[in-house]
């Protein structure tokens, strides 16, 4: 039995993670924390977890939200998920490790996503546990599965980076991308990507019948995408002139609850054809239970990936004007593949389980 604690379980990523783990017969949820709902039953705050709801494991409906208790979590957990705002998990992880040095940590927040502490602090503020940063692996599970297996510390990628990096990194790693022009990334996200807190920009009347770009040059996920693309490029031996990756990333909010549709514009190196691109993706994802390469770009739509850990990818070269220009489209669920379900995939890999073990598969289609 895998004993799990979820710190910050009442936010969107926390509650979806709880949903994904609660029905697993091999998982026991030891503790769930929430400052807002401390002392209240899970089923009282979220009636979907009641005994009369879809969940039949009675102990789950009786779970109570608690304040964070380092000793209890350390003693009762094999693994801890942190679903907290930035710079909060890094305040708590050292105390957990002081009590239980073998416990596995999966951070869904941003605190340990960067190789360079300076980059984190430029965008997020002073880091609270810089000494632990190098211990964390970047948990883009479908790319770095071999490294994640049997690891103790995983930092879950951001939702926008997941939707962008899964299509981009295989091409970069194989030297297929010409960096003489920027990689341009346009992403459209559902409103749940902004979290569960009450803000005017999240209100129904502000979002309905509207689409807008935001943080067009300063979104915190831009440096995350940039760092991982640069690392992949350098590791592939990329040193040629004009080869420094330049990323232009524009996020948009659209009036749907969840999902991210990403369109990527990039230039292929000379001699790299659509057939070669297809071979690259097949090499990376041919055996993946979650990443699917679609033959038609129009198949990449949110409806086909919602409530899943799936990523659909399609691509098309410009056959009329410039065959070296490629459009790549990806679709993910920002709370599934972009957060909670990828975290479960990482947990499975860390514990030596199949990557798709116990991950719910549900489509609301139509």
Longest dimension (CA), the chain: 64
Residue 180 sits at the vertex; the CA angle it makes with 179 and 182, to the nearest 5 degrees, is 65
215: left (phi over 0), alpha (psi -120 to 50) or beta: left
Report residue 350 as tokens. 């860390």
Burial class of residue 240, CB neighbours in 10 A (0-12, 13-18, 19+) = exposed
Q: Do residues 251 and 160 lie in contact, with contact meaning Cβ atoms separated by under 8 Å? A: yes
CA distance 179 to 345: 32
For residue 130, the 8-state DSSP code is G
Would you state the torsion angle of the CA atoms of residues 131, 136, 138, 144, taken in this order, to the nearest 10 degrees? 140
In 3D space, the residue among 227, 145, 185 whose CA is nearest the CA of residue 329 turns out to be 185
User: Does the annotation mark 300 as catalytic?
Assistant: no
One of 159, 205, 300, 311 is an active-site residue; which one?
Answer: 159
Enumerate residues 6+ apart whose C-beta is below 8 A from 29.
4, 5, 6, 18, 21, 22, 60, 63
Report residue 270 as tokens. 């000379």
User: Using omega within 30 degrees of 0 as the cis cutoff, is the peptide bond preceding 366 cis?
Assistant: yes
CA distance 195 to 16: 12
Rg of the chain taking only CA atoms, in angstroms? 20
Buried b or exposed e, range 277-304, using 16+ CB within 10 angstroms: beebbeebbeebbbbbbbeebeebebeb
Continuous segment of H or E residues that includes residue 106? strand 104-107
Catalytic residues: 159
């Amino acid at each position: 039995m895998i004993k799990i604690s979820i710190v910050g379980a009442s936010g969107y990523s926390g509650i979806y993670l709880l949903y994904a783990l609660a029905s697993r017969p091999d998982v026991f949820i030891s503790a769930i924390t929430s400052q807002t709902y401390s002392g209240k039953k899970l089923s009282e705050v979220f009636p979907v977890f009641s005994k009369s709801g879809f969940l039949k494991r009675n102990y789950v409906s009786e779970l109570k939200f608690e304040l964070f208790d380092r000793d209890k979590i350390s003693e009762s957990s094999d693994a801890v998920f942190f679903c907290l705002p930035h710079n909060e998990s890094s305040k708590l992880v050292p105390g957990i490790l002081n009590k239980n040095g073998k416990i596995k940590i999966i951070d869904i927040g941003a605190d340990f996503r960067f190789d360079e502490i300076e980059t984190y602090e430029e965008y997020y503020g002073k880091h609270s546990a810089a000494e632990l940063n190098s211990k964390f692996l970047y948990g883009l599970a479908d790319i770095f599965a071999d490294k994640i297996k049997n690891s103790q510390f995983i930092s879950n990628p951001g939702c926008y980076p997941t939707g962008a990096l899964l299509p981009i990194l295989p091409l970069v790693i194989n030297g297929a991308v010409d960096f003489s022009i920027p990689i341009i990334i346009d992403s459209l996200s559902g409103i749940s990507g902004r979290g569960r807190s009450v803000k005017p920009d999240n209100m129904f009347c502000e979002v309905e019948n509207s689409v807008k770009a935001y943080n067009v040059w300063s979104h915190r996920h831009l440096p995350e995408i940039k760092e991982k693309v640069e690392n992949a490029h350098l590791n592939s031996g990329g040193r040629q002139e004009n080869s420094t990756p330049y990323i232009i990333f524009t996020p948009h909010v659209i009036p749907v609850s969840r999902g991210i549709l990403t369109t990527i514009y990039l230039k292929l190196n000379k001699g790299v054809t659509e057939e070669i691109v297809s071979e690259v993706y097949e090499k990376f994802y041919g055996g993946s239970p979650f990443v699917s390469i679609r033959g038609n770009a129009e198949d990449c739509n949110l409806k086909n990936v919602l409530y899943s850990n799936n990523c659909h990818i399609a691509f098309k070269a410009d056959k009329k004007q410039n065959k070296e220009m490629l459009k790549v489209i990806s679709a993910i669920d920002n709370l599934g593949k972009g957060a909670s379900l990828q975290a479960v995939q990482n947990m499975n890999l860390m514990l030596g389980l199949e990557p798709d073990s116990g991950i719910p598969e549900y489509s609301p289609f139509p």
